[in-house]
Structure 1
């Protein structure tokens, strides 16, 4: 029997990167999967690839009204929710002295507010014994150049998780953080690394990781599957780092 047979899962930011790979992994383990994303074309393409039973919803997680609509759609299509992965996030790398107010607000709106209200709006449709996974970041524990605002927004997620793990204990809902380190997705391009700098950038990052390489999104997805499944049935309130040991250095 597959690990998630009979379960329904929702992954925000599920149209690309770690979210998309995780959505496919959950579906392969028998879950009915819904994803959200901001670009309709990417959501449609991802949903088609995830396969039968999947549902794609377009919107901005920074808008609480979006989560209301998503909860309504999930209730109509699936009846209830077993797994919620708050994965959508954005990053702007900038030294603190150079951070614009709009950049600060955008990162906290998506990364922190989007996570908070997403969980708040999904709780009424979550079944007893469900699992909530919040995508954190290595940056919330390790000082990285130009990451002050991003790190702050991700640190908030850890505080949310610890609080919710206690608040939701009576319902048997487990809440955990999944914190990836450098992962081989298109996020590298979004960081503004030019093609001629890419090799040096990747070599420098690999040297800072004890396992000597970037993580693969499939490896992060496996960790998410662990936290979503009964394999982690006695685990709540933890921060699972999938970073090749980078936080140790």
Structure 2
């Protein structure tokens, strides 16, 4: 049975599903098959990047899914070294993805300081042209976000950064919340010891896996997650997070794994 995932509204009103499917390191065939499986299972948010070199496979999977384009939230990312050719890179991404627009376009990591603002202006220009619906950043600090906002009057909708129990930083999360910037967490499972007794005990209590506990913990903090797998059963369990809730005490216990 398809379960609708919770969403968060971006500043422009676009609904961003809190559970996304990541495609980093997925080779072309894997990317196609995994995204097809993810969409069949119920994911409606797919994350790729120019550097992943699988945009065409992601786009083909979305098209072959039979879903309307409007039903799938697609993110791709601009390599910072290509910031001066941003529009050309975006047009290439759109061709490969087989779409007229992407829902979110991010700068993959900060450019050199003297190009931070000009690169951000390129993303804003693409948004004004209707090629992207929302723009944001990845791996930026709050100070870098402020620099962009002060220079242009428009702040990133999203900052995609590594996040896991071991990296949990309530102050950093609050810095983003105060600015109205949505946090997308990546590598949450990769950077976590899933054999930690705190996680295994909570998992046993809820009859789920430790990985599901970690992903659910992100959702309890309203952090967007981007789990990735090439195995259909893992793709499915990573999405199956709405049949249980973590208690405040369990969330706090996981917070303190940092």
Same fold by TM (over 0.5)?
Answer: no
Q: Normalising by the residue count of structure 1, what TM-score does the alignment of the two structures yield? A: 0.39
Q: State the TM-score, normalized to the length of structure 2.
A: 0.38
